[in-house]
Amino acid sequence: MNIAILSRNSKLYSTQRLKEAGEARGHHVEIIDHMKCVLLIEKKNPMVWYNGKKLDYFDAVIPRIGASVTFYGAAVVRQFEMMKVFTSTESQALIRSRDKLRSLQILSRAGLGLPKTIFMDYSKDTEGVVEAVGGAPVVIKLLEGTQGLGVVLADRLFPVATGFAQRSGIGKFFQQSLRRWRIGCKVGGIGGSHCCR
Angle at 8 between CA 106 and CA 23, to 5 degrees: 90
Domain with CATH 3.30.1490.20 in the chain: 112-195
Q: 115: cis peptide before it, omega within 30°?
A: no
Q: 45-49, 50-54, 108-112, 135-139: which has the minimum mean pLDDT?
A: 135-139
The predicted structure's pLDDT at residue 176: 24
Domain with CATH 3.40.50.20 in the chain: 2-97
CB atoms within 10 A of CB 61: 25
CATH of domain 112-195: 3.30.1490.20
pLDDT in tens, 36-45: 999 999 999 9
Q: Are strands 28-32 and 2-6 parallel, antiparallel or unpaired?
A: parallel
Overall residue count recorded for the chain in this entry: 197
Q: Is 36 exposed, middle or buried (0-12, 13-18, 19+ CB in 10 A)?
A: exposed
pLDDT in tens, 82-110: 999 999 999 999 998 888 778 888 888 98
**Domain covering 2-97 assigned CATH 1.20.58.480 in the classification:** no
